[in-house]
Structure formats: C-alpha cells, structure tokens
Amino acid sequence: MKKRTLLVPGQIWTDGETQKNWCVLVEGERIAAVGSPRSLGDVSDCETIELPGCTLLPGLMDLHSHLFLHPYNETSWDDQVLKETEAYRTARAVAHAEATLMTGFTTLRDLGTEGAGYADVSLKRAIDDGIVKGPRLFVAGRAIVATGAYGPARRNYRTDCCFPQGALEASGVEEIVRAVRIEVAHGADWIKLYGDYRVGPNGETRATFSQEELNAAVAAAHDLGRPVAVHAMTEEAMQRAARAGVQTIEHGYGGSGETFALMRVNNVAFLPTLTVSEALSEYFRGYVRDESDATESMQMAERGFRNALAEDVTIGCGSDVGPFPHGQNVRELVWMTRLGMSPAQALTAATGINARIIAQDRELGSIKSGFFADLVAVAGDPSIEIAKLRQVRFVMKSGAIFRRDPPIG
C-alpha cells in the first residue's frame, strides 16, 4: 500500500494561479489529486498535514548551480581547484545539497564540477538512492572549454608544472566531438560548453570556440540525446551558440536586443545568473548590498536581463550559486523581480518554465495529478511578495517529507 498524505494549505499557487480551499492528496511519490476537500473522496486513511497561513507551491528549481564550489570570500576558485581534494569537495557538496533542499529548491541543474571530475554523477546517485539528502539533480560532469581558455590560468603559475584544470579542454572539431562523447560516457545529463572567456590580450572576454566547433559539439550531443548549455557573456559567443542550436545560454550580460531576438527565434532559453554578479561585486569590487550603487558588471547583467525581457525570450531561474552560499538561491528570484518581472512571473520561471527547459514539464513544475510530489510551503503569499520564499515551512520531494516546521500561530 502506498502511503497517502493529505496537505491542507492556506492556499495553493501553481501555473500562475492561486487557488484557495484546495488540498493536495499524495500517494507514494506522486500527486494523486488536487482540488476541494469534497472532490478528493475518502481521505480517512491519510496522514493530514495542516499548513495554515501558508502557500503551497511546486518545488522550486535552480538551473545554474555548482554544488562543488563554495563562496570565493572563503576560498578562491583557484585554491578550491588546486588545493581541495575531490573527496573533501564532495563532502562539502553533500552539505550544500541538503541546505538547498531545505530551502525549497527540489531540483537543480549542476553545470560543472569545476575540477572535481565526475563527482556530481556519484552525488546524484547517492541522492537518488536515499543515502544523502538533496534535490533531484541534472548534471554536466566536466564543462568543455577551448584549450588554454579556462583556469587555473597557466600564465599565473610556473610553466614547468602540470596542475588540474577546472574543465575538459578541446580544440578543433574532432577534439570537441570526442570531449562531448567522453562526458556522455561518464554520465552527463547535459553538455556544458564555454563559448567565451577572459582570453583577450588584457583579460577581456572573447569568443573561444568557433562556429564550426560549436556546431559539431551540439550535433554530437544531440545525437546522444543530450541538451547543451553554453556559458556566453559576449554578443559574438551568444550568437554563435544560438546559431548552433543550443538549448540554453547562461549569463548573457552583453546581449543586445538583436541577440536576444535571435535566441527567441531559435528557441534558446536564457538563465540570467544575476546574483553571482552581485556576489562577486561584494567580494572584489567593494559593493555593499542594498547600500552601494550597482557596479559596472551588475549594470551589464541588468541590461542583458532587461533586453531579454523586452524580446520575450524564455527566461528561467538560474543563479550560479556556489560562488555565493548554497541555500540562498532565492536571491536570484528577488533580483528578477527588482529588474522587471512580477513575483508571479519569477515563480513561473522557477517552476513551470524551468521544468520545460529541462524537458520535465510532464512530471515537474506544477501541482497536478500524476506529477511528482515535489512541494514546498512558505508563510504568506510569494506571488505578491517574492521575499516570502525565504519563510519555508514545509518541503516534500517525491512524496517524502524533508522539512516540517510547527504550524504558524
């Protein structure tokens, strides 16, 4: 017999609408029914969980995360890659995964272990097997970068030393196709490519992979049934990625209206990663949150986001969490509302739209019969005030309860 649980919240928000006097019946790992108490039939055998004063939402999703990184004001990126062992970083990632789940984010797309090999594949398995607590994961293993175009930057170290790189290097069509196949063989759900990086003569960001290389990588990934995400800050890299047929572009701070229009036409989704720009400004540029004027990099991120909004590009929630603390993913949604989205639009980005981006919209991202019971309850109404997402009271993933705070009041 599957365990039956009846959730009775103050209200339900799903698919852009708020429903009052509705309940959710969960059987096993899935939602069995949603509606008024009378419509659910006999629920006398259920465990009933009252959630007064709370809004019940689909589990939130962050589609740009790095569970194997921790904030750069604790340890620099180079030192994490060069000095922290894979076992140590995995232990940290376990704690990061649990912290994320407890704040209502039940699904993550992890876009590269940054020097920790394929430990994300093993972490995903450990979560799925119930060994550790964490969100459901979609992982990319090692990102793929152009040779010499990533870190730790060789120019900063002794030339006679060999040391780990934060991603898998490739040059030319043959090598990049081989790199894609290596990632797939090791268990990557997504292929992550770096379309540009800080490789200019003075450290400016420039496109790294050619159009031919990107086309070949995307074709190889799609042949193997894997979607592709591309890190791209510049117009040129974004346009090359869009023309290559990738599924998502990450960051996009330098994107013009023309570039985002190309993305819309080619059905490329955008993950804006606004929060990481704020975090790096705090660490390295003297920015004080809620006090300082926006730094140049933050202004670029804002322009890109507003351009994407104006061009009606599909925008999901992706924060680049890792450089800032895990469990603070909601900061991205707060930024999205500051820069032009309504709270309801931001919630939709983190639920239904994100589910569509990862092709899971028939099982995740909505409170519907037959969907996975990934559910979160927060005090108040986040569709009116997005910051209410910080007041998590209840978290369920696949029908299992991971957080259950005492009733309010």
Q: What is the CATH number of the domain that holds 17?
A: 2.30.40.10
Measured distance CA(239)–CA(244) in Å, rounded: 8
Q: Are residues 240 and 370 in the same domain?
A: no
Once rounded to an integer, what is the mean pLDDT over residues 95-124?
A: 98
User: Domain of 296?
Assistant: 60-357
Q: Is residue 214 part of a domain?
A: yes
Q: Does 186 share its domain with 281? A: yes
How confident is the prediction for the chain on average, in pLDDT? 96
In a domain, 409, yes or no: no
Same domain, yes or no: 69 and 150: yes
pLDDT at residue number 379: 97
With beta carbons less than 8 A apart as the criterion, state whether 401 and 108 touch.
no
Say if residue 2's pLDDT is above 90. no
Q: 37 and 72 share a domain?
A: no
Let me know whether 38 and 158 are in one domain.
no
CATH assignment of the domain containing 327: 3.20.20.140
The Cα-based distances of 62 to 15, 109, 263, 351 in angstroms read: 17, 7, 20, 9
Question: Same structural domain for residues 54 and 65?
Answer: no
Mean pLDDT along residues 28-38: 96
Q: How many domains are there within the chain?
A: 2
Tokens of 109: 């797309």
* Interval 173-224: pLDDT, tens: 999 999 999 999 999 999 999 999 999 999 999 999 999 999 999 999 999 9
What percent of the chain has pLDDT above 90?
Answer: 94
Same domain, 66 and 131: yes
350 inside domain: yes
Q: Report yes or no on 208 lying in a domain.
A: yes
Same domain flag for 163 and 192: yes
Note the pLDDT of residue 408.
76
For residue 222, what are its two tokens?
A: 């799609």
The candidate with the shortest Cα–Cα distance to 238, out of 200, 197, 275, 207, is 207
Q: What is the pLDDT of residues 266-315, one digit of tens each?
A: 999 999 999 999 999 999 999 999 899 999 999 999 999 999 999 999 99
127 in any annotated domain:
yes
Are residue 194 and residue 259 in the same domain, yes or no?
yes
User: Do 28 and 163 reside in the same domain of the chain?
Assistant: no
> What is the predicted pLDDT for the residue at 179?
98
Tokens of 21: 């006097």
3-class DSSP state for residue 358?
A: coil
- Are residues 372 and 278 located together in one domain of the fold? no
At 63-93, the pLDDT tens digits run 999 999 999 999 999 999 999 999 999 999 9
Q: For residue 320, is it within any domain?
A: yes
Q: How many residues does the chain have?
A: 409
Average pLDDT value for residue range 320-344: 98
Q: What is the pLDDT of residue 158?
A: 85
DSSP 244-295: HT-SEEEE-TT--HHHHHHHHHTT-EEE--HHHHHHHHHHHS---TTTSPPP
In a domain, 29, yes or no: yes
- Tell me: do 377 and 302 sit in the same domain: no
148 in a structural domain: yes
User: What local confidence, expressed as pLDDT, does residue 409 receive?
Assistant: 65
pLDDT of 364 over the 70 cut:
yes
